[in-house]
Amino acid sequence: MTTNIEEARKQILAMVREFVDRDVRPAAAQHDEDDTYPTALVDQMAEMGLFGITIPEEYGGLGLDHSTYAMVFEELSRGWLSITGPIGTHSILAHALAHHGTEDQKRRWLPGMATGEHRAGLALSEPGGGSDVASLQTTAVKDGEEYVVNGNKLFITNGREGNIFFLLAKTDTTIEPQHRGISGFIAEKGPGFTAGKDLNKLGYRGVDTTELIFNDYRVGTDNLIGGEEGKGFYQAMDALETGRVNIAARAVGVAQAAFDDALAYSLQREAFGELISERQGIQFMLAEMATKIQAARLLTYDAASKKDSGDRFDLEAGMAKLYASEICAEVTLDAMRVHGGVGYIKDLPLERYYRDAPLMIIGEGTNEMQKLIIARNLLKRARAKG
């Protein structure tokens, strides 16, 4: 079977590469400039089956491993970071459902999510905070067979285009520690649940990031993930580990795109009578960029393969996310240095890579949070050894 997975992975990556080169790259600049949702591209991804990559086969997905998923994300991001947006947080709800949902919830939601009919988002961050999940303010008060939800969520990818959301809300506001009062729900758009206006972002444009407003929104008790209150924090943290690997993979993809452009440009641009690729200053930059990208890629694949083998991987996911996102910002800037003035002009995609890069530093837990996670894990291991 190993051979089959390898063979399937090769074919899948070849298909995604072709899609990226033929359809994504030519369309990205205009969508980025106009901040318009790439409906045709997203529909094409749904048709290919990319919404169901990690959803188990018995629920209509492909049941592929996280390593393949990370490689697909890397490849898509090489074309355009934003195109990963509709699938990213979608997969986080899918992960939470597949691992923590009741059988009935899996049967009810996962097949539609695998085809892309249900498009999901993650309703976690709030105006008051993102990384500090435990202190979230949104509440869900039980009323018979329903919960009544009130509160606001902010920076929600797929907020407008998505139709179901992984909603985290407090069902108990008095319990200590606070995170034990958080429950996870599957929230469908409906009366009392609306998306606010699209946020105008520096990068990661074209994909909708909005506020979500819950105003006496009623959600059934059968939408409580796992059928148990107080588990939302754990369900989210577990799924977000995979999210960090995805962010790392995206960073590798964007950095690779910038490097590819820089390398190609250095082989055609002449200055002082020779190609700039012949100059040591440029060569040093190219060497450093390529080395950083490869290191980030290996960290990412290592974290993904830890996940696939069933080990804890929060340390590895944190390291991959931290390193890949930092070098992505460095590489996109260095690629601009190689290009000189022309790299600063909007006619080339380089300035987009440069604007997209900071998302990976800030999103899915800021890099400062990653450092805390990494350090805590290291200290915990050291203490355990005595």
Partner 1 sequence: MKQVPDPDTPPSAFHVDESANRVVPPPGTPPVVNGFDLNATEAALLLKDAAGGTDVEITIIAVGSEFVMDVVKRPLSMGADELVLVDDPALENLDAFATARVLAKTIEAQGPFDVVLCGRQASDWDNGHVPLVLSELLGFPCISFARNIKVTDSGVRVERSLTDGYQVVDSPLPAVITVTNELGEPRYPTLRGIMAATRKTPTTLSLNDIGVTDGDVAASLELTRLFVPESERRVEIIGGDDEVDAGRQLALRLREENLI
Assess 48 for contact with partner 1 (CB under 8 A): yes
Q: Which stretch binds partner 1 (CB under 8 A): 41-49, 92-100, 118-126, 330-338?
A: 41-49
Assess 52 for contact with partner 1 (CB under 8 A): yes
Cβ nearer to partner 1, comparing 47 with 216: 47
Assess 87 for contact with partner 1 (CB under 8 A): no
Q: How far is the CB of 20 from partner 1 (least distance, A)?
A: 11
Return the structure tokens found at 173: 């506001």
Q: Which stretch binds partner 1 (CB under 8 A): 50-58, 165-173, 305-313, 360-368?
A: 50-58
x/- map, 1-30, partner 1, by CB under 8 A: ---xx-xx-xxx-xx--xx--x--------
Given candidates 39, 49, 209, 371, which one binds partner 1 under the rule CB under 8 A? 49
Indicate which residues carry an active-site annotation.
Answer: 364
x/- map, 55-74, partner 1, by CB under 8 A: -------x-x----------
**Would you tell me how many other CB atoms lie within 10 Å of the CB of residue 4?**
8
Q: How far is the CB of 19 from partner 1 (least distance, A)?
A: 6
Q: How far is the CB of 53 from partner 1 (least distance, A)?
A: 7
Q: How far is the CB of 123 from partner 1 (least distance, A)?
A: 27
Nearest partner of 349 among 111, 27, 112, 131, judged by Cα: 27
Q: Which stretch binds partner 1 (CB under 8 A): 45-53, 224-232, 253-261, 302-310?
A: 45-53
Binding site for partner 1 (CB under 8 A): 4-5, 7-8, 10-12, 14-15, 18-19, 22, 44, 47-50, 52-53, 62, 64
